[in-house]
């Protein structure tokens, strides 16, 4: 999506970018489970010229970022199905994620690992005529956000102080348009978790400011006629 200043950092591949066209395709690498839903799906597409096997692993994390702490989820808190999918070239299918954890006002984050494995081993031969089995595996990391079951969606905007704060308990995307005709690609984007504060001159200078929450655009300012 954007090659911009991102608050959330994903290892191996940068979060919120699309997957390479020559391998597994997942779309955006951050996805959310709505507050009123206990299930979310991810559509996986095999963009290779040969069959691939896809598997999922996940870890619970305190918050996305360089210094995140990850741990094994509590038993039964977050489940997924199926365990494995085999896709032919061009085929796609869904992994389903089910949340059975606490229904409180806390947002929860999970790092989800999608593995892409060739359907058959590749074999290479050493000089001494011994064969070695090779199975190149591509692992793409994504972030699953389970929004609080009890949502408190709020923010604060201080134009003179050039500050925008996420004062609620769930994340949103902030879009700053430098001029009225600016496209999303020309704008600055931040992904703001609960408690995050953005303090920059661009907040005061932006012609348009939008918050994107649950796929809806919410106007914070609009100085364009």
What's the CATH number of domain 24-146, 3.40.1670.10, 2.60.40.10, 3.10.129.10, 3.40.228.10?
2.60.40.10
d(CA 207, CA 190): 16
d(CA 215, CA 169): 17
**C-alpha triplet 25, 28, 29: angle, nearest 5°:** 90
Q: Where in the chain is the domain with CATH 2.60.40.10?
A: 24-146
> According to DSSP H, which parts of 56-131 are helical?
none
Cis peptide before 109 (omega within 30 of 0): no
**Residues whose CB falls within 8 Å of the CB of residue 75, separated by 6 or more in sequence, listed in order:** none
In a structure prediction context, what are the per-residue pLDDT tens digits for the chain, which is 225 residues long?
Answer: 333 333 333 333 333 333 344 567 777 788 999 999 999 999 999 999 889 999 999 999 998 877 889 899 999 999 999 999 999 999 999 999 999 999 999 999 999 999 999 987 555 555 565 555 556 788 989 999 999 999 999 999 998 889 999 999 999 999 999 888 888 788 889 999 999 999 999 888 888 899 999 888 899 987 776
């Amino acid at each position: 999506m954007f090659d911009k200043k991102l608050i959330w950092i994903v290892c191996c591949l940068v979060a919120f970018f699309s997957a390479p066209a020559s391998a597994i395709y997942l779309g955006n690498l951050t996805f959310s489970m709505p507050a009123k839903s206990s299930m979310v799906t991810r559509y996986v597409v095999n963009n290779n010229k040969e069959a691939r096997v896809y598997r999922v692993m996940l870890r619970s994390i305190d918050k996305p970022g360089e210094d995140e702490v990850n741990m094994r989820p509590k038993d039964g808190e977050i489940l997924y199905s199926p365990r494995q999918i085999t896709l032919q070239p061009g085929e796609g299918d869904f992994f389903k994620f089910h949340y059975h954890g606490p229904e409180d006002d806390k947002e929860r984050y999970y790092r989800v690992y999608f593995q892409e494995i060739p359907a058959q081993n590749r074999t290479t031969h050493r000089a001494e005529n011994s064969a070695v089995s090779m199975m190149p595996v591509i692992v793409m990391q994504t972030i699953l956000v389970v929004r609080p079951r009890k949502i408190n969606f709020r923010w604060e905007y201080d134009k003179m102080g050039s500050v925008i704060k996420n004062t609620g308990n769930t994340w949103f995307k902030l879009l700053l348009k430098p001029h009225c005709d600016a496209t999303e690609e020309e704008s600055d984007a931040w992904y703001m978790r609960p408690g995050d504060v953005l303090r920059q001159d661009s907040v005061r200078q932006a012609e348009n400011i939008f918050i994107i929450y649950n796929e809806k655009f919410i106007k914070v300012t609009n100085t364009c006629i």
